[in-house]
C-alpha cells in the first residue's frame, strides 16, 4: 500500500483547498446527460436518440486508482469534482505523468481505439467521476456504428500516438531518445509491410531534434554513438538496424 511506486497512495497528504470533505457516501448517484454536457462545456447539440440516458457516478478517495495500465477498456470518465493524475509507468519503474485532470476533463480517451487503458489514473484528492460505459457506445453492432464511430476510433488512436511520442522525450539521455525514435520508426515501417531494419528517414536531423527536444548536433552525435556500439549503421538518411533487440534494450 505504500510501495515507492504507488506514491499516489498516501495519507491524504497536506490539505488542498476546496477539497470536498470525505463524508456522506451516497453511493451510486446518477447523472443526467445535460450535466455531462455542462461539465464538458460541449457547445453542440446532443439529442440523445434514446430517451435521455443517465450515467453512473463513481466516488474515488485520494490516492486510489481509477483504472490501471493494461486493464480492459470499460468506458470513458468525465471528472465531476476533484483532481487526478494520469501516469505511465515504464519498465524501469519511472513514472511519467501524462496529465493532471480537473472538472470537465475526459479520462481514458486512448482506450476507445485500443480496447485497453494505456495508463493509470490516480485520484490526487477525493474525486467524483461519471462513467460513459464502453458497451453502450463502442461495442460493435450497436445502432449508429457509422463513419462517425470510425472517426472517433481514429481520433482516439491519435491520443495514444501522441502519448507515445510524449513518452519518448521523457527519457533522460538523448541517445535513449534517439534509440526509441528509431524503434518507433522501425515499427511503423514494419506495420506497413516494409523492412523494420533498413529504411530511409524522410526528415532532417533538425526535424528529429525538434521532435525529441534536443538539438540537431545531439541527434547526430547520438546516431554516431549508436553506430560505434555496432547497433546501427548510418549513411546519411539511410538507416540499417543491426540489432533491433539491442536498440530496444538500449537505456544508456
Partner DNA sequence: CGGAGAATTGATATGTCTCAACACTTGTGG
Partner DNA sequence: CCACAAGTGTTGAGACATATCAATTCTCCG
170 binds, among DNA, a second copy, none (CB under 5 to 8 A by kind): a second copy
173 lines the binding site for DNA (CB under 7 A): yes
Closest separation in Å from C-beta 16 to a second copy: 4
221 binds, among a second copy, DNA, none (CB under 5 to 8 A by kind): DNA
Count of residues that interact with DNA, criterion CB under 7 A? 29
Question: Nearer to DNA by C-beta: 12 or 46?
Answer: 12
175 lines the binding site for DNA (CB under 7 A): yes
80 lines the binding site for DNA (CB under 7 A): no
Closest separation in Å from C-beta 245 to DNA: 22
180 lines the binding site for DNA (CB under 7 A): no
Closest separation in Å from C-beta 138 to a second copy: 8
* b/e burial code for range 84-101 (CB count within 10 A of at least 16 → b): bbbbbeeeeeebbebeeb
The 8-class DSSP code of residue 72 comes to B
Contacts of 23 (CB under 8 A, 6+ apart): none
CA pair distance 189, 98, nearest whole angstrom: 26
CA pair distance 64, 71, nearest whole angstrom: 15
| Short-list 58, 85, 74, 62, CA closest to 10 | 62
Amino acid at each position: 500500500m505504500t510501495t515507492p511506486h504507488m506514491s499516489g497512495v498516501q495519507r491524504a497528504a497536506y490539505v488542498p483547498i476546496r477539497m470536498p470533505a470525505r463524508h456522506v457516501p451516497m453511493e451510486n448517484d446518477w447523472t443526467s446527460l445535460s450535466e455531462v454536457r455542462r461539465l464538458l462545456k460541449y457547445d453542440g447539440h446532443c439529442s440523445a436518440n434514446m430517451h435521455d440516458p443517465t450515467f453512473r457516478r463513481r466516488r474515488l478517495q485520494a490516492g486510489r486508482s481509477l483504472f490501471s495500465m493494461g486493464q480492459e477498456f470499460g468506458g470513458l470518465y468525465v471528472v465531476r469534482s476533484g483532481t487526478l493524475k494520469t501516469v505511465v509507468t515504464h519498465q524501469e519503474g519511472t513514472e511519467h505523468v501524462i496529465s493532471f485532470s480537473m472538472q470537465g476533463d475526459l479520462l481514458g480517451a486512448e482506450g476507445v481505439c485500443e480496447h485497453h487503458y494505456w495508463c493509470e489514473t490516480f485520484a490526487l484528492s477525493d474525486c467524483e467521476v461519471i462513467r460513459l460505459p464502453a458497451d453502450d457506445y463502442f461495442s460493435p453492432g450497436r445502432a449508429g456504428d457509422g463513419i462517425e464511430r470510425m472517426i472517433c476510433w481514429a481520433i482516439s488512436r491519435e491520443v495514444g500516438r501522441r502519448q507515445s511520442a510524449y513518452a519518448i522525450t521523457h527519457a533522460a539521455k538523448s541517445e535513449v531518445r534517439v534509440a526509441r525514435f528509431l524503434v518507433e520508426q522501425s515499427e511503423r515501417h514494419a506495420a506497413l509491410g516494409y523492412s523494420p531494419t533498413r529504411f530511409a528517414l524522410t526528415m532532417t536531423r533538425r526535424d528529429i531534434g525538434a521532435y525529441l527536444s534536443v538539438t540537431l548536433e545531439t541527434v547526430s552525435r547520438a546516431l554516431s554513438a549508436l553506430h560505434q556500439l555496432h547497433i546501427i549503421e548510418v549513411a546519411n538518411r539511410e538507416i540499417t538496424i543491426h540489432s533491433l533487440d539491442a536498440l530496444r534494450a538500449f537505456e544508456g
